[in-house]
Structure 1
Amino acid sequence: MCTGSCAKCLGGTLIPLAVFGFLANVLLFFPGGKVISNNDNLSAEVWYFGGIIGSGVLMIFPALVFLGLKNNDCCGCCGNEGCGKRFAMFTSTIFAVIGFLGAAYSFVISAVSINKGPKCLTGNNTWDYPFHNGDYLSDQALWNKCQEPADVVPWNLTLFSILLVVGGIQMVLCAIQVINGLLGTLCGDCQCCGCCGGDGPV
């Protein structure tokens, strides 16, 4: 596969993942599917915007760059027609690194939140984090420690798990593009590298 075609495929996959990550983070502001009266009672990790910024906004720009590489018609330089395409592939590598860091941010925030558990109203009528070191993950009976919001434990666990998976996939795809971009930078077009049977440019 040509490096440009590979990048386009990766970009097309990153777009829906970014949307899923963005929506998952937005839904976390409505624990149990309900509007909470005091935003201070939301889990702190919700406000870190892992899905909105990390897996969302910071992923859109790399995805758009990747999508545009296949039909990139950068002008050559110094009499070398492939120079522009090599530079475009190198630029995509930089964006891939940015995307990787954004996805890693979302991944770490999600992992921390899953282990920590949600903030909720406990039996002593205070809003706190009643779980410790992910103990609630293996003992569903502990979920009763959260009195309000209703269903906040499965709600947070599901959405942060989605963000964890999305972030992990995005990290892998961006890592692939780093390698793909470096190959495109070194090899230039398909004909140079001998891939795609030398039948077309990047």
Structure 2
Amino acid sequence: MCTGGCAKCLGGTLIPLAVLSVLANILLFFPGGNVIEKEQITEEVWYFGGILGSGVLMIFPALVFLGLKNNDCCGCCGNEGCGKRFAMFTSTIFAVIGFLGAGYSFIISAIAINKGPKCSTQSNSTTWIYPFKEGDYLSDNSLWSKCQKPDNIVPWNLSLFSILLVIGGVQMVLCAIQVVNGLLGTLCGDCQCCGCCGGDGPV
């Protein structure tokens, strides 16, 4: 596959992942489908790992990757002097940005899963705490009953942060692939453009 075509494929995959990531992060603000007070929401939700890291910071690289295939053969952005190789080099920079964003979301999600959700351990209490320690609830779901409010907060947080964790991991892999693909495109150009590695014809 040509480097431009590969980038377009990666960009097309990253877009739905970014949208899903944003939706997952938004749902985390409504644990168990309930509207609660701002200070009762798990702290890691406010770090916007899914909205900023795997969402906004991923949209820009994805759009750049999608646009590479549409660049004209010997130029980019209508400028023949720019060159396909420069466009591929630019995509590498955006891929690194996307990798960092996905990594941020991945780390935040991992911390949140290990820490567990913030909840009330007594149904009539207004005090909300983090009742779990070092991920102990992950191997013993009988501990989930410690959280009395809101309903189903543990599976809700665990499921959504796990989704963000997986999405972040996949996005990191895809962006790493584009870094390699972009470097190859920088050195050799796209197979449909002006030759490869100094050649005069397409390969």
Give the structure-1-normalised TM-score: 0.91
Give, in angstroms, the shift of residue 138 of structure 1.
0.6
Q: 1:34 deviation in Å?
A: 1.2
In the alignment, the residues of structure 1 paired with residue 189 and residue 154 of structure 2 have an alpha-carbon distance, to the nearest angstrom, of 51
Find the aligned partners of 1:7 and 1:133 in 2 and give their Cα distance.
Answer: 39
Question: Counterparts of 1:23-38 in structure 2 under 5 Å?
Answer: 23-36=23-36, 38=37
Q: In the alignment, what sits opposite 1:142?
A: 143
Q: For residues 79-115 of structure 1, give each alpha carbon's deviation from its aligned partner in whole angstroms, at most 9, with x where no partner exists.
A: xxxx511110000000000000000000000000000
Partner of 1:152: 153
Aligned-pair identity (%):
79
The total of aligned residue pairs comes to: 191
1:187 aligns with 2:188: yes
Q: Which amino acid aligns with 2:146?
A: K
Q: Distance in 1 between matches of 2:66 and 2:153?
A: 38
Q: For residues 170-185 of structure 1, what are the structure 2 equivalents within 5 Å? A: 170-185=171-186
For residue 198 of structure 1, what is the aligned residue in structure 2?
Answer: 202
Give the secondary structure class of the aligned counterpart of 1:128: coil
Structure 1 unaligned segments of length 5 or more: list them.
Answer: 78-82
Deviation of residue 122 (structure 1)? 1.2
Question: Matches of 2:21 and 2:150 in 1, distance apart?
Answer: 22
Matched residue, 2:57: 58
Distance between the aligned counterparts of 2:9 and 2:63, measured in 1? Answer: 11
Q: Distance in 1 between matches of 2:84 and 2:149?
A: 56
Gaps spanning 5+ residues in structure 2: where?
none
**1:54-133 correspondence runs (5 A):** 54-73=53-72, 74=76, 75-77=79-81, 84-123=83-122, 125=125, 126-133=127-134
CA distance in 2 between partners of 1:84 and 1:149 (Å): 56
Matches of 1:97 and 1:161, distance apart in 2: 23
- Runs of at least 4 residues off by over 3 Å: none
- SS of residue paired to 1:111: helix
Deviations for 1:64-83, whole angstroms, at most 9, x for unmatched residues? Answer: 00000001122332xxxxx5
C-alpha RMSD of the superposition? 1.5
Instruction: Tell me which amino acid in the other structure corresponds to 2:69.
Output: K
CA distance in 1, matches of 2:197, 2:2: 9
User: Following the alignment from structure 2 to structure 1, what is the Cα–Cα distance between the partners of residues 83 and 8?
Assistant: 17
Output the CA distance in 2 between the equivalents of 1:48 and 1:148.
22
Supply the distance in 2 between the matched residues of 1:22 and 1:72 (Cα, whole angstroms).
Answer: 29
> Which structure: greater helix fraction?
1
Q: TM-score, normalised by structure 2?
A: 0.91
